[in-house]
Structure 1
Amino acid sequence: MGSSPSTVEVTSTGIGGGKAFPRPKGMSLSYWLQGVRASPLLDHRTTEGLPQAADIVIIGSGMSGTLTAYELLTRPNPPKSIVILEARELCSGATGRNAGHCKPDQYRGFAKYEKIVGAEQAKKLLEHEFETWSRVVDFVKKEKVDCDLWVGDTLDVAMSPELAAKTAAVFDAYKAYGGKVDHITYTSDPAEAEKISRLKGAQAVWSWKASTLYPWKLVAHIMKICLAQGLNLQTWTPVTSVTASPNTPGRWDVNTERGTITTPTVVFATNAYTSAILPAFAKFIQPTAHMCNKVVPPRTFAGGRALQNSYGVLAASGGLYSINPRCSADGVVLFGGSNPNQGQLKAYLDEDPMRLFDDSLGNFQPVTDAVNDLTSNAFEGWGEDPPAPGLGPEYSWSGIIGLSADSLPFIGTVPDRPGQWICAGFHGHGMAHIFTCAPGLVTLIEGGTWAETGLPECLELTPERLANIGDEPNFNKPVI
């Protein structure tokens, strides 16, 4: 959910100054991007050159940027001109690189969020995620979007007695606080947990409704509507800086390698790449690469025996596997999340800051090994078929997560920069936020109050929130 800039030397300064991250060239092709290589939207430019001015300029063509444009264009009195600038291909940032899981957290994040923002806001966050998921499903069904939508039971599976007890304690605490859990099915019987999950060693299972989908195709559908409403999309147009216009007071110059657009309103839908244009946000949003893996299941997990649930597998050795089995599509199993060996990837990235923005990485072996370990040793019967061409792990790709310093996205106006707005920092969980956050941002842009957005108060970008984060933020909070 965000733009994906290529290498540019950034000299602009953001609020309060700060150091920008460099932006590397090159990109891997995710499963989603591989499947749409013939789409003319990938490199679409509505006009040959950039317009000199626009009412609104949105930076980033992922879910955040595209949905923001949609909301602006489909409400009463839309702006006369909106330009979306994308540094590379349409939706080639995080939205086009995730594992396709839209899974609202319904209890597990309560303990973490309670420590950060208090119990009441934690409860609102979990309710907000369910509303976001509902809006995604309702939109896809209403618009008849061809994006492989699956709606079914997602499973949280605890793979050790200690994890089962810890997770159950969080569930019980959320329920005791008044959290809605009557839609969640739970078993702490290991035999039943193994049967439901098909995972040897499973100790407990929690189940509720969630979805998987083809996120690039959803963005493309929304983008087509926007283009029909007059949106100007410019791909392969990296923004180098946003500066005060020297010629027009109260306006901003959005500077690119292809020219400058002057506008009163700028929207940063840039997620992990925000600090490349707003350097001060390096203190609040940090990029880090994550890996996703594509695995073709064996005969024992195909046809009538294909996986029928999506998963969050809480591994005994630490970390979490997010699993999308594409139940309503081709049955290819996609692995994301923070599996036990993602820590080795993080150590590799930390050796060179350039790597933090580098989504050209593929097949980081320790992460792939962890996926192979789960499928071969935990899924009952997975290894019964002999190896054969076309089966098993095929490849993996990288995507850049925008880690938030307090684990929550930033929605609102950029302090000290009137007319600049932001919808970014989704901490690896954008699919469960954006379909409510982007409309909320548009409400603010149109002059509405935060209360009118319907969003949890803790998501608002305020000077006080940034001050609370301080100068030594902690980006090591769990991603999912």
Structure 2
Amino acid sequence: MGSSQSAEKVAGGVEGGKAFPTAKGMSLSYWLQGVRASPLLNHQTTEELPKAAEVVIIGSGMSGTLTAYKLLTRPNPPKSIVILEARELCSGATGRNAGHCKPDQYRGFVKYSKLVGEEQAKKLLEHEFETWSRIVEFIEKENIDCDLWVGDTLDVAMSPEVATKATAVFDAYKAYGGKVDQIKFISDPAEAEKARISRLKGAQALWAWQASTFYPWKLVAHLVKACLAKGLNLQTWTPATSVTASKTSGLWDVNTARGAITTATVVYATNAYTSSVLPDFAKYIQPTAHMCNKVVPPRAIAGGKALQNSYAVMVAGGGLYSINPRCNADGVILFGGSNPNQSKLEEYLDEDPNRLFDDSLSNFEPVTAAVEDLTSAAFEGWSEGLPAPGVGTEYSWSGIIGLSADSLPFIGKVPNLPGQWICAGFHGHGMAHIFTCVPGLVTLMQGGTWSDTGLPECLELTEERLERIGGTPDFTKPVV
């Protein structure tokens, strides 16, 4: 394995509207902190960058590594695949989320119906459940050591207004024929806040169904090891700066600071950073920083009293706390989502476009304060004995969400660029899309039709979809 490139060689900043990841000051998420001894972090399969490859994949998160895995494990695999990663392995969104794989089973129905119609909205929710099922099946079949937990996730409404709104969406989905028999619905506030149900004081209603949490970096590492054994060339610390037409007709040059790779097939698994190598996509995918918090629970929420469910805690004003309590691991509670003070982070980001893709942020006080407000107010006994060393809101980090201009990921051929493909723009919801979207993309790359993918039609990247987005994209912030 070749040595890592120096951080100084990794570009950072905004150039012509393009966002570039930077190594300077990069925060370490909870997941990246836990794997500092892994040689995969800075792996370079060959000391020199290959001059050519059959397929070049840009990005080493779940999308990029799963693409390589599917290509290499299906019949007639490519003779050579290179994955380019700008920094450490899986140091983008996959390695910076809160580890929550929660398929939306009703909540997005009205929103999606307005965007793409009721039929497609229903397909999207069914697609998310299928994604979750495939992830769990794969982890269990491969016996991957990644702290997989399977159990009830709770949507908890914390005000009468929120409960009324969520109930109306649930009823609308059920009335349309959406599958809801897997969901337990509790509309009685006294029942909803019980210790054996939500444990949240003030809960007004809740919905429960199956979901998972796991260590996403370790899942990616498993995929990478399997691919390396089948001939993958992984090059970390090698940011792609552009993709240009090669001197050889029908081929592309993927340009990096270490040289260029000539290829017939390029896959953009670049999510928030897509416009750094595909500038026209600045109109369709926009980066924005997001915060996650690591919280060490006090004695009242530990041991036999530890949380036993994952959560989406819905509060007035549209705020949502996504909670992963790592039930079968160390019990550290990870907070994501869009809590009530996320708007203050957005105000901070809007002051300087460079901040939109700044994943060096840590402990942004208003977001952390909102986490502290919820835990102290809603969980019985949380504040007893606090403050104490090693307990409470210990640390937070930033990750970069790839906001889609129509809230949905872009899957398929890049228009007018033969041989170029994309799987990006997950709008903060990649864990509930990737394990079905990537196999669908690979099916297309191998000559299949969209109907062969089994994916909702609204996810396909087409010229018509881009035209529909037009000059008025709506980068609405996600409630994840």
Tell me, yes or no, whether TM beats 0.5: yes
Q: Tell me, what secondary structure is at the counterpart of 2:40?
A: coil
TM-superposed deviation, 1:268: 0.2
**Cα shift readout 1:74-131 (whole Å, capped 9, x = no counterpart):** 0001000000000000000000000000000000000000000000000000000000
> Are 2:171 and 1:172 equivalent residues in the alignment?
yes
Aligned equivalent of 2:378:
378
2: CA distance, partners of 1:386 / 1:87: 41
1:115 aligns with 2:114: yes
Partner of 1:216: 217
Q: How far apart are residue 19 of structure 1 and its match?
A: 3.6
1:233 counterpart residue number: 234
Mapped to 2, the partners of 1:144 and 1:25 lie a distance apart of 33
- What is the rounded CA distance, in whole Å, between the counterparts of 1:243 and 1:130 in structure 2? 38
How much has 1:200 moved relative to structure 2?
0.9
**Residues 286 and 9 of structure 1, relative CA distance in 2, 3 Å threshold:** closer
Letter of the 1:369 counterpart: A
Distance 1:97 1:368 in 2: 16
Q: Is the 8 A contact 2:407 2:476 kept in 1?
A: no
Paired with 2:37 and 2:369, the residues of 1 have a C-alpha distance of: 32
SS in 1 for 2:244: strand
Q: Residue 284 of structure 1 aligns with which residue?
A: 284
Partner of residue 441, structure 1: 441
Secondary structure of 1:78's partner?
coil
Which 5+ residue runs of structure 1 have no aligned equivalent? 12-17
Match of 1:339 in 2: 339
Residue correspondence of structure 1 range 75-474 to structure 2 within 5 A = 75-195=74-194, 196-246=197-247, 248-474=248-474
Q: CA deviation at 1:379?
A: 1.2
Structure 1, residues 177-211: CA drift from partner, whole Å, max 9, x if none?
A: 01000000001100111111111111000000000
Number of aligned residues: 470
Tell me the amino acid that sits aligned with residue 160 of structure 1.
S
Residue 479 of structure 1, CA deviation: 3.5
- Kindly tell me: are residues 23 and 43 of structure 1, through their superposed partners in 2, closer, same or farther at Cα, counting changes over 3 Å? closer
RMSD: 1.4
Give the equivalent residue in structure 1 for 2:4. none
CA distance in 2, matches of 1:230, 1:63: 18
Structure 2 CA distance for partners of 1:177 and 1:6, relative to 1, 3 Å: farther
SS of residue paired to 1:384: coil
Counterpart amino acid of residue 7 in structure 1: A
Deviation at 1:8, TM superposition (A): 5.1
Aligned to 1:67: 66
Q: Distance in 1 between matches of 2:344 and 2:164?
A: 27
Instruction: Give the Cα separation in 2 of the matches to 1:269 and 1:51.
Output: 20
1:286–1:402 CA contact under 8 A, matched in 2: yes
Asked whether the equivalents of residues 154 and 309 of structure 1 are also in contact (C-alpha less than 8 Å), the reply is yes
Conserved 8 A contact 1:153-1:310: yes
**Mapped partners of 2:455, 2:358: distance in 1:** 32
CA contact (8 A) 2:403 2:428 kept: yes
In the other structure, the counterpart of 1:479 is 479
Q: Deviations over 1:222-255 (max 9, x none)?
A: 1100000000000000111000002x10000000
CA shift at 1:457, angstroms? 0.3
Contact 2:13 2:354 in 1 (8 A): no
Q: Is the 8 A contact 2:11 2:22 kept in 1?
A: yes
Cα displacement (A) at 1:378:
1.1
Secondary structure, aligned partner of 1:42: helix
Q: Tell which deviates more after alignment, 194-203 or 145-154.
A: 194-203
Instruction: Report the 3-state secondary structure (helix = DSSP H, G, I; strand = E; otherwise coil) of the residue aligned with 1:200.
Output: coil
- Residues 118-177 of structure 1 show CA distances to partners (whole Å, capped at 9, x for unaligned) of 000000000000000000000000000000000000000000001101000000000010
SS in 1 for 2:36: coil
Distance 1:277 1:234 in 2: 17
Give CA-to-partner distance per residue, 1:372-405, whole Å, 9 cap, x none: 0000111122112342111111110000000001
Aligned partners of 1:374 and 1:54: how far apart in 2? 51
Note the C-alpha offset of 1:24: 4.1
CA distance, structure 2, for counterparts of residue 45 and residue 175 of structure 1: 51
**Cα deviation code 1:329-385 (max 9, x no counterpart):** 000000000000011001100110001111001000000000000001111221123
1:398-453, Cα deviation, whole Å (9 max, x unpaired): 00000001000000010110000000000000000000001100000001000000
The residue identity in structure 2 corresponding to 1:315 is V
Match of residue 3 from structure 2: none
8 Å Cα contact 1:24/1:354 also seen in 2: no
Is contact 1:10–1:241 with CA below 8 Å preserved after alignment?
no
Distance in 2 between residues matched to 1:380 and 1:10, nearest whole Å: 46
CA contact under 8 A between 1:108 and 1:167: conserved in structure 2? yes
TM-score by length of structure 2 reads: 0.96
Q: Per the alignment, in what secondary structure is the counterpart of residue 181 of structure 2?
A: coil
- Relative to structure 1, the CA distance from residue 256 to residue 115 in structure 2 (aligned partners, 3 Å threshold; closer, same or farther) is same
Which of 17, 20, 32 is equivalent to 2:18? 20
Question: Could you tell me how far apart the structure 2 residues matched to 1:166 and 1:318 are?
Answer: 11
Moved more, 168-177 or 467-476: 467-476
Equivalent-residue separation in structure 2 for 1:423 and 1:348 (angstroms): 29
Once the two structures are superposed, residues 55-86 of structure 1 have per-residue CA deviations (whole angstroms, 9 ceiling, x without a partner) of 00000000000000000000001000000000
Structure 2 residue aligned with 1:14: none
In the alignment, the residues of structure 1 paired with residue 20 and residue 447 of structure 2 have an alpha-carbon distance, to the nearest angstrom, of 35
Contact 1:411 1:459 in 2 (8 A): yes
CA distance in 2, matches of 1:167, 1:36: 39
Asked if 2 retains the 8 angstrom alpha-carbon contact of 1:10 and 1:240, the reply is: no
The alignment-based identity, stated in percent, is: 79
Q: How far apart in 2 are the matches of 1:450 and 1:130?
A: 20
Deviation of the 1:314 alpha carbon: 0.2
Report the counterpart of residue 29 of structure 2 in structure 1.
30
Report the Cα distance in structure 2 between the residues aligned to 1:53 and 1:24, rounded to whole angstroms. 26
Mean CA deviation greater in 19-28 or 182-191: 19-28
The aligned counterpart of 1:7 is 11
Partner of 1:15: none
